[in-house]
Amino acid sequence: MDSRNSSAESDDSGLATLTKLRPSHLYDVVVVHRDLPVIRREAVYVPPGTSRITIKATAGHTISGRVIGEDGEPLAGASVHLAYPGRLPTLLRTPGLTSTVVTGSDGGFAVERVGDGVWGLVAQVPGFVGWHSGVSAGADDVVISMRRSRTLVALGLQDSLRGSEASLTGADVPFHLKTIVDEEGVVCFTDVPAGSYFLSFKADPLLKIPMIRLVDGDPPTIRIEVPPPATPEMLLIRGQVRLLDGTPAAGAKVGLFAEKPEGYLTLVSSIVNADEEGRYSAEAWPHVAGLRLRVVAVLDGVAGCSEVRDRARGTEVVLTRSTRRLKGIRVQEAENGRGVEDAEVRVLAVMGGGDFLTGPDGRAPSVVDVLPRALLPTSPTGESVGKLARRWTRKILGTVEIRVHAPWFLPVVRVLVVTPEFVEIKLRLAQVVEGRVVDKDGRPAAGIRIRTADGTADTDGDGRFVLIQGRDGPEAPRLVWSPLPDWRPVGRLPSLKPAKEKGVFVIPDARRWPLELAFGPEDEGLSVLVTLPGAPAVGPTPQAVIDSKGQCRNIDLLAGDYVLRILKGNTIIEELDLSLEPEPASGVWRRSFAR
């Protein structure tokens, strides 16, 4: 898409005209209302011979529905919030928006002044929470089922995390909660439904904490102890980089490589720069201490390599070998050879690279040093695997990768083993593919992400999409992701089914519905696992726990045949066949089992 910007305000009829656009280009258009949080976002193609487009800004919509409790009865007094789909409950707090409403005696609610698009809804009462992760603007039949929630408290956090932001992200539920670690090293999340979660911290993104699993049988408050992170002592390699005449190589790029037992080399440190005296300091994880290490340095077309023999004395690197330099790239049209302006060029190499933008003649001033293949020798060995590893090492370390993306052209990726001084990249024109996605009832499917081999796009509020693909022939778009209620792709991503109308595609019926199981009170505490027939029963992970009333919830399934396994701990004590009809009339599957 083109990177230049244009903006305009709509008139009394809701029309806005964007000007000074580039003909034959694709733009990402965002419509923002002053008093609405939402936005309509869509891809718009500017036809040849014009530099303006007209956009229609619609007024706000109303989303209405009802909230029901665990028993299926209407629930009064529940707070309903408008949220972003897929990131619940990231609530909207925009001035002028009634983003929070309270249900009436019949459990009904109405959220007004909502813009175009797909939204999420979160309902909360003390001890319970419910959500709907994909609601189209204007929907009037939304049903939110409440589930029991709990409070999660994490204790024993390290001092460096105090006062930082903590995030709890659901692995199998669309919840993303944020809060702040207090001065006692404690973080508390409220209104957390059952599911699996990842706990992370903004101050230390690399801190690894095991997945947290909450089930329906857990107490109202869950406390977990966060173990202190292991802080291994890093391997420190120091030394100096010099030119052939002995002068310090100030600013040289330095990297540490390790030779694996198989015979190939790999970069084990970040790339650092030598100081004014040519001195460097590179860190690596301690597990590479037992491997053969080499230090590689590059500066202005010359490179050097030295083996690390004595870490205490330091490793000196002398730049003696000339590198292969990529000095320029020209991006041109394959049909006529004209330069392509504003093409985004990314150059990737082991010891260099960068991002560039082509000028009016299609040239990008790229200067990248590529290591010579003979710079990094490997240990002598007569085994064939060692020879292949050495060949692989020299090929990869001496390779440069060029990625080019330009509006209205198909993206290109080229890998160069032999690096010339100048490279010409030829781009093929793409064709615009426009269409509309609807569900099986003919209603527009907003927020659907689809793709072809050459492009990806999201549908707008009317289910329309615009993307590019090659001119070799049309390809049926494939469904990648959907925020529709309780929708999940199963197995391979299904292809969209063409409708009778040209350019219209029907989304497959692949919706999940909640399953409620009823057992006897004597089964309290047992776990339930639902799998496809023939699935292995080794190492099962329980999906839900039978409560004191003999009930089991928090399972969503597609229509089909399943095997229901009842577990005591990790031991399967009974297996039952489970068949679910295509669609439950009440929106919930209910099954009873007498054991």
Coil, strand or helix at 395: helix
Mean pLDDT confidence for 269-282: 91
Query: What does 501-558 look like in DSSP terms, one character per residue?
Result: STTEEEPP--B-EEEEEE--GGGTT-EEEEE-TT---SS----EE--TTSEEEEEEE-
Structural contact between residues 178 and 166, judged by C-beta atoms closer than 8 angstroms: yes
Number of CB atoms found within 10 A of residue 375's CB:
18
pLDDT at 248 over 90: yes
Is the pTM higher than 0.75? The answer reads no
Pick from 508, 391, 486, 494: nearest CA to 451:
494
Mean pLDDT confidence for 371-382: 55
Coil, strand or helix at 286: helix
Give the residues across from 296 on adjacent strands: 255, 305
- CA atoms of 363 and 418, how far apart (whole Å): 20
pLDDT at 308 over 50: yes
> Of the ranges 60-69, 200-209, 369-378, 387-396, which one carries the lowest mean pLDDT score?
387-396
Number of CB atoms found within 10 A of residue 152's CB:
22
Give the residues across from 178 on adjacent strands: 167
Coil, strand or helix at 387: helix
> Tokens 């190499």 map to which residue?
349
Share of the chain above pLDDT 90, in %: 8
368 vs 12, higher pLDDT = 368
**Positive or negative: CA dihedral 214, 216, 217, 219:** positive
Structural contact between residues 122 and 80, judged by C-beta atoms closer than 8 angstroms: yes
Strand ranges (E), 181-229: 187-193, 195-201, 212-214, 221-225
pLDDT, one tens digit per residue, over 435-491 is 888 877 787 777 777 877 777 777 776 778 887 776 555 566 676 666 554 444 443
Q: How confident is the model at residue 85 (pLDDT cuts 50, 70, 90)?
A: low
560 vs 221, higher pLDDT = 221
φ, ψ dihedrals at 344, nearest 5°? -90, 120
Give the residues across from 71 on adjacent strands: none
Q: How confident is the model at residue 240 (pLDDT cuts 50, 70, 90)?
A: very high
Coil, strand or helix at 85: coil
pLDDT at 540 over 80: no
pLDDT at 502 over 80: no
DSSP class of 377: -
Pick from 186, 192, 135, 131: nearest CA to 163:
186
- CA atoms of 342 and 147, how far apart (whole Å): 52
Burial 481-511 (b: 16+ CB within 10 A, else e): ebbbbbbeeeeeeeebeeeeeeebbbbbebb
- CA atoms of 295 and 267, how far apart (whole Å): 10
